[in-house]
Amino acid sequence: MDVGVLSKYIPNFLFILLRASIFVSLLPFFGSRSFPAQFKIGFAIAIALVLTPVVEFEITESNIPILVFKEIIFGMALGLSVRFVFMAIDLAGQAISFSMGLAVANAFDPEFGQTAEVARLQGIIAMLLFLAMDAHHDLIYVFVKGYEFLPAGQANIRGLMQEGISLGSKVFIMAVKIAAPVMTGMLIASILFGFLYKAAPQINIFFVSFPVYIFLGFVLLLLSIPIFMHVVGGYFGEIREEMYRIFEIARG
């Protein structure tokens, strides 16, 4: 191949690689810290190589910084639109652990670092559900098709930044929905222990309630697994539409 023809594709490859690498690093499962870095780099390069011949950039020396900034923001918005579900699951798991009295029992999670054991358990269940629903293939498909919906380098940064702020509020709403069954049961148990303490102040409520909280919490976790899978599965089913909505916002 002529060197001049090849050099024409190098800027396209680098800009596509920039967006793809950010997106892959934020993806569930593929972007996990437990995954080898060589795999993630190779995966992003493979996507960029496939898309380079068919995606065009209008590049001049004056607009290179603007293109880089837009691609970084857009890649982060796409990745976070997928990642926010797992952020909500981690937040819900930590809230449940705190209500059960297990906030001290932390473990290292490759996804989020130091986190609660309950959050890690729910994260594993969610990841298995994510793979079972074949959602990872849908996300890669939407990412590739995204260059048809939104030409490269034409993202509306202001709309994307506003959407990123709204995603933060969605994380808290989802976390409350996921943690609601267990935390409601723990709240009722706390109220009942309060009545018990008023009726019999000589009872050491702390030592009595601690094992009850743990036992009741695990029972409620077991019973709420179908609800958890229904809620999380519903959000996984909406991720594809959420990514399309990001494209619509970026188009302005």
Query: Mean pLDDT, the chain, as a whole number?
Result: 79
Residue 74 binned pLDDT confidence (cut-offs 50, 70, 90)? confident
Q: 3-state class of 28 per DSSP?
A: coil
Q: What's the whole-model pTM score?
A: 0.77
- Closest by CA position to 170, among listed 224, 95, 235, 252: 235
The yes-or-no verdict on residue 106 having pLDDT over 80 is no
pLDDT of res. 35: 73
Residue 104 binned pLDDT confidence (cut-offs 50, 70, 90)? low
Amino acid at 136: H
The yes-or-no verdict on residue 207 having pLDDT over 80 is no
Encode pLDDT of 11-64 as tens digits. 778 888 888 888 888 877 776 777 777 888 888 888 888 888 877 776 665 677
- Most confident listed range (7-21, 80-94, 238-252): 80-94
Q: How far apart are CA 215 and CA 223, in angstroms?
A: 12
Residue 99 binned pLDDT confidence (cut-offs 50, 70, 90)? confident
Encode pLDDT of 173-188 as tens digits. 888 888 888 889 888 9
Could you give the dihedral angle defined by the CA atoms of residues 32, 35, 41 and 47, in that order, rounded to the nearest 10 degrees?
-70
Residue whose entry in the numeric block shows the structure tokens 């699951």: 89
Q: 3-state class of 53 per DSSP?
A: coil
Give the containing element (helix H, strand E) for 146.
helix 135-149
CA distances from 193 to 97, 110, 217 (A): 19, 37, 15
